[in-house]
Structure 1
Amino acid sequence: MLQEVFYWIFNMSITAALTGTLITLVRSVKKIPRRLSVFLWVIPFARMVFPVGLNSPYSLMSLLSKTATKFVTVYQPTDDMSFSMMNSVMAADTYFPITYKTNILEDIFNIASVVWLVGALIILLILAVAYSAAFYEIKDSMHLRDNIYLSDKAFSPAVYGIVKPRIILPASYKNRDVELVVLHETMHIQSIDNLWRLSAFAIVAVHWFNPLCWLFLKLLLTDLELSCDERVLAKLDDNNRAREYALALLESKTDRTIFTSAFGGAKIRARIENILSYKKLTIFSTAVFIVFIGIIFHALMTNAG
């Protein structure tokens, strides 16, 4: 049972690596706003979670079906609709249950599945400890107003928590103008970024053996931060306020804990460059980008039909 689970996890990881690599290439197009392109990361992370995909003749996965990949149909409710699992390993002759081509392959997957499970449990334990430690650090924080708190353990502004998120500011911010800082953290809360981060960490913990999945996690965290900056800028009135925001960003830069809003996020230089080059979207350009992203979703979230 365990080795069958790992077999499909391994397949899902390969599919995620392929789609994530394509998303990385699309992401390099600077004209696409981060607050829109950030949604593209749903594709590789969904591929890490869901083994089954809807078949489509317009899927980019069709290109792989003619080379190194086989698609195993698992459900076909109608003649025009079917669901399949992408099989890139192709180490088996039959599926459900899996019958391996050779005994050596079966032995390899038996051993690898145990190593995978132990590694995943260790990483998930580390994440759980880090999550608890992050809250322990700010347990004595002082309430300032609303959901804003001050803590002498905090080195920079951050959001803690998911269900009842708190904005934690360093104690040194008590007598400072924190309007822009709070606005930034509020954007993180409205976009439930901490939930996305926690989910992404848990998913990558399951795919810990795939270095590309860790790269995609890093890029996702970067884009979440850049996306948040863009949403803040959309609410500001003029360029002077944008410069103030950039300065506030420089003043608050430091390392943060693993589950706070900016962990592993964009480097300060990249964020400043994104802020200075920011342009508000027109209705037309927004519509064009949404259609473009929708096409990519369909091409990469479906399997060969």
Structure 2
Amino acid sequence: MEELFLTLVNLSLTASWLVLAVLVLRLILRKAPRWSFCLLWGLVALRLMFPFSLESPFSLVPSTQPLPREILHTATPQIQSGIPAVNSAVNPILQEALAPAAGASVNPTQVWSFLLSRIWLAGMVVLLLYALISWLLLKRRLATATLREDNIRQSEQVGSPFVLGLFRPVIYLPYHIPEQDLTYVLTHERAHIRRLDHWWKLLGFVLLAIYWFNPLMWVAYLLFCRDLEGACDEKAVRALNQEERRGYSTALLNCSIRRRPVAPCPLAFGEAGVKSRVKAVMHYKKPAFWVVVIALAACVIAALCFLTSPKEPTVYDVLTQDGYEVLSQKQVDLTLTVPKSALTDDCFTGEGHTFADGQVVVWQDNATTIYLHDVMLSNESDELLYMTFDCSYRFSNYGSFVTPLQATEDSSVSPQILLRSKILRDGTTTYPDALSLRGYGPDAKFTFYVSKDACMAAQDTLMIDIICNQVQYTKEGYEISGSQLSPAGLYLYEGDGFGGDFTITLREDGSFTYYEGHLSSYIGAGKWSVSGDILTLEDETGIEPPIINHFRMEGNDLIFQANGSTNFIYVKVADGAVFSKNSQIPVPAATATKWFDYTTAPSEMDWDGELAITHTAFPDVTFRYTPEEITAQQKREETPVQLISGMPIWNAYFCDLNGDGLPELCATLSMGSGIVDTRIAVCDYTNGRTYELEDRMNYDYALRFDPDSALLYVDRTPYEGREPDQSGLLMLEDSILTYENQGPN
């Protein structure tokens, strides 16, 4: 029911643009024949009846789905009006008002859609019952009507002439009708029958009953009834002279009645704006040929512009630069969140489960929605599941979106998605080696192998860490204003930080971090948003009260707005203080702390021994090493978690590579049986992610510690070679483990 209601709301909103166009055309085409207005209302009916339309470059409809299907299920509802200004104004309010409470079993959008769909159904039933009861009461009153001739009857219960019936329409007349009016009345009512107006009025009322929630549909129905009578008057008086028209007008006045403003039946002679009809009859002139041509052209143009849908750009249009220009591409980290409740029993059987598009949203921003497509048992192993995801996009003249695809130099499209970690998380527990990438496609779909046991054991939302491609684009020929450019970048406070530079880093994925200085023990992190020229940073570190700060964007500077801001912890920034954008701020290399290293003295390794260590950054965690693995065990947990495995692990260091203030565990290890290669593994214990630097059978990679600078270097050696051919500082850039090549060591 909710999905049907959503479809009808979208059809109604789409048809509203055509109703507004018809209202404007009625004002402009005052001299046009009234039958042309009826044609325009017929176009509105077509738009309301058919949930599909042809795509056209001439379409003026901003969006055919202002309320996307996923709005029923997502925790962050968004409209897609097709008008960026409207989206920017409405979506933040919508998301704030309908944000689900923590631990809630349903979203507020689900509750509201359920309530509104039932209210809509009740309203439709009331209107249809009103129509049915009105018809039955009228039939009962007319039971005593007498036959005058053919399909004409008379009754004392009739106040004014009208037509009633669908397949065999009958004209009903009052007994008191003057003879001099009878000819005009019958001419008018027979014109109604020839034009099939009794069918069109019923169709109009049925559509009104369905779309009663839209005020424009009531306006459209009332004006449609008026234009129906006006068109019939024109047909009836076309061959009359001035004196006969005066007689026709007199008949209209004699038969005028006061009727309910909305009635499904019957077609009465003396209703629907008698005063304006008399005036139109007395001033009627046969429309000039050019007026008729313009009226018909207006109908054709209205159909072309409002019965069609705008050509919806696809992700392939943007990436192949068909009408678009790709400005930049970069890799970004995402975490897909799959509700455990979505994994029903059939997901773990051979049948599997396919979800409706947008039913289970796992990641979303203003331009991209990633949702769960299906889950089914793997063909390769009963211990694995296929978990497939798909994407939908909202494109505008300029913006960015996230996709598992990338544009290539030859204007084609290739996959671009990686797993950041093979660890599956559920908020409290990690499941090592529970994930692997199965493949891509078709279109923007991608599939993972997921451990069946891990999915069944998980107690909370499943979290999958991936790397996608973020694309910044613009429509061909569209000029980008300065205010539209992304504020992402590194900003330096022009005042004094707390024992060093105070910097703010805004990332393209909408996240940020800031450091108030080297002496600060707090690292701010959260999401940034832009409204007009105001940038807002909202910390998501859990500190109370929440830290929210506002800046005015001015060129490449951020100007602090003290009014409404919480301010920072150690540095109290003054109103109007400046943070300047500067991508050239030097970022000091992260220093490393040695745990063990057997690369220069392999004979010292105890193959049956074990090492254990704690780190000040993780006071409740004990890290243990054997030559085969490194594990971590929290005080409150009985079972350790495997972080790195190899045979053997040659060295291990703690080093903060991603700049979050907490060190990663960096190690050199060997892998393989028969063909052995050496590689580097880095485990981000805080976020449950693992990165590797390896090129099997081509190069070996090993960590080398410089005791003077306390920095970690990478040595690359050709496979089966003896001397490194490249060396460089170990780095983690855009979730990719790499090194700053400085040539041979």
TM-score by length of 1: 0.85
Evaluate the alpha carbon distance shift between residue 114 and residue 177 of structure 1 in structure 2; reply closer, same or farther with a 3 A threshold: closer
Displacement after TM superposition at 1:177 (Å): 4.8
Contact 1:156 / 1:254 at 8 angstroms: preserved in 2? yes
1:1-305 mapped onto 2 (5 Å cutoff)? 2-29=1-28, 30-61=30-61, 64=62, 69=63, 86-90=64-68, 92=70, 99-102=73-76, 103-173=107-177, 177-236=181-240, 238-256=241-259, 258=263, 259-262=265-268, 265-305=271-311
168 and 218 in structure 1: CA distance in 2 versus 1, 3 angstrom threshold? same
Code of the residue aligned with 1:3 in structure 2: it is E
AA paired with 1:25?
A: V
Question: Which structure has the highest helix share of the two?
Answer: 1
**Matching residue's letter, 1:243:** R
CA contact (8 A) 2:31 2:287 kept: no
Deviation of 1:283 (Å): 4.1
Displacement of 1:163 in angstroms is 0.8
Contact 2:189–2:269 (8 Å) recurs in 1: no
The answer to whether the Cα contact below 8 Å between 2:73 and 2:109 also exists between their aligned partners in 1 is no
SS of the counterpart of 2:147? strand
Give the Cα–Cα distance (whole angstroms) in 2 for the partners of residues 168 and 264 of structure 1: 13
Q: Would the alpha carbon gap of residues 285 and 175 (structure 1) be closer, same or farther in structure 2, given more than 3 Å must change?
A: closer
Q: Quote the offset at 1:178 in angstroms.
A: 0.7
**1:163 and 1:100 mapped to 2: Cα distance?**
48
CA contact (8 A) 2:252 2:270 kept: no
Which structure has more RCO (C-alpha within 8 Å, separation ≥ 6)?
Answer: 1
Give secondary structure in 2 for the equivalent of 1:139: helix
* Equivalence for 1:83: none
8 A Cα contact 1:16 1:48, kept in partner: yes
Whole-angstrom distance in 2 between the partners of 1:57 and 1:265: 42
Distance 1:263 1:21 in 2: 28
Contact 1:224 1:265 survives alignment (8 Å): no
Higher strand share: 2
RMSD: 2.0
Counterparts of 1:130 and 1:301 in 2: how far apart (Å)?
34
Q: What is the alpha-carbon distance in structure 2 between the residues aligned to residue 143 and residue 256 of structure 1?
A: 25
Structure 1 pair 32/282, CA: closer, same or farther in 2 (3 Å)? closer
3-state SS of the aligned residue for 2:267?
A: coil
**C-alpha contact 2:234 2:281 (8 A) present in aligned 1:** yes
Question: Quick one: distance in 2 between partners of 1:289 and 1:160?
Answer: 31
CA distance in 2 between counterparts of 1:221 and 1:32 reads 17
Residue identity in the other structure for 2:46? A
Q: Give the C-alpha shift of residue 127 in structure 1.
A: 1.0
- Tell me the SS of whatever aligns to 1:269: helix
Query: Which amino acid counterpart does residue 167 of structure 1 have in structure 2?
Result: I
Q: AA paired with 2:45?
A: F
Q: Is the 8 A contact 1:221 1:263 kept in 2?
A: no
| Kept in 1: contact 2:160–2:270 (CA 8 A) | no
Give a deviation string over 1:4-35, Cα, whole Å, max 9, x none: 00011111111122211111111123112212
The farther-off stretch of 295-304 and 280-289 is 280-289
Q: Any conservation in 2 of the 1:194–1:261 contact (CA below 8 Å)? A: yes
SS of equivalent to 2:235 = helix
Match of 1:74 in 2: none
Identity across matched positions, percent: 29
Is residue 253–residue 268 contact of structure 1 (8 Å, CA) maintained in 2?
yes
Structure 2 unaligned spans of 5+: 77-106, 312-745
Give the direction of change, closer, same or farther, for the CA distance of 1:122–1:303 in structure 2 (3 Å limit): same
Once residues 221 and 265 of structure 1 are traced to their aligned partners in structure 2, the CA distance between those partners, rounded to angstroms, is: 9
Distance 1:165 1:104 in 2: 50
Task: Specify the alignment match of 1:76 in structure 2.
Answer: none
User: SS of the residue aligned with 1:52?
Assistant: coil
Shift in CA distance, 177/127, structure 1 to aligned 2, threshold 3 Å: closer
SS at match of 1:149: strand
Residue-by-residue CA offset, 1:114-152 (whole Å, 9 max, x unaligned):
111122112111111112222222121111112111110
Distance in structure 1 (CA, Å) of the matches to 2:26 and 2:181:
35
- Give 5+ residue unaligned stretches, structure 1: 70-85
Contact 1:91 1:105 in 2 (8 A): no
Give the whole-Å Cα distance in 2 for the aligned partners of 1:110 and 1:14.
19
Query: Aligned in 2, Cα 1:99/1:263: closer, same or farther, shift over 3 Å?
Result: farther
Instruction: After TM superposition, give the deviation of residue 101 of structure 1 in Å.
Output: 4.5
SS state of the match for residue 53, structure 1?
Answer: coil
1:77 maps to which residue? none
CA distance in 2, matches of 1:101, 1:274: 56
Q: What residue identity is the alignment partner of 1:150?
A: Q
Q: Any conservation in 2 of the 1:225–1:266 contact (CA below 8 Å)?
A: yes
1:20 and 1:177 map into 2 onto residues whose CA distance is 36
CA 1:261–1:134 in structure 2 vs 1: closer, same or farther (change >3 Å)? same
1:36 Cα deviation (Å)?
A: 1.6
TM-superposed deviation, 1:256: 4.9
CA distance in 1, matches of 2:204, 2:269: 12
Q: Distance in 1 between matches of 2:299 and 2:246?
A: 30
1:170-191 per-position Cα deviation (integer Å, ceiling 9, x unaligned) = 0112755511110001111111
Rounded to whole Å, the distance in 2 between the matches of 1:207 and 1:140 is 36
CA distance in 2, matches of 1:183, 1:263: 10
Alignment check: 8 A CA contact 1:138 1:151 kept = yes
Q: Deviations over 1:182-202 (max 9, x none)?
A: 000111111111111111111
Taking the aligned partners of 1:265 and 1:51, their CA distance within structure 2 comes to 34
Q: CA deviation at 1:211?
A: 1.5
Task: Please give the per-residue CA displacement for 1:189-239, whole angstroms capped at 9, x wherever unaligned.
Answer: 111111111111111111111121111110100100111111111132x21
User: TM-score when scaled to structure 2?
Assistant: 0.36
| 4+ residue segments displaced more than 4 Å | 174-177
Q: Secondary structure at the match of 1:169?
A: strand
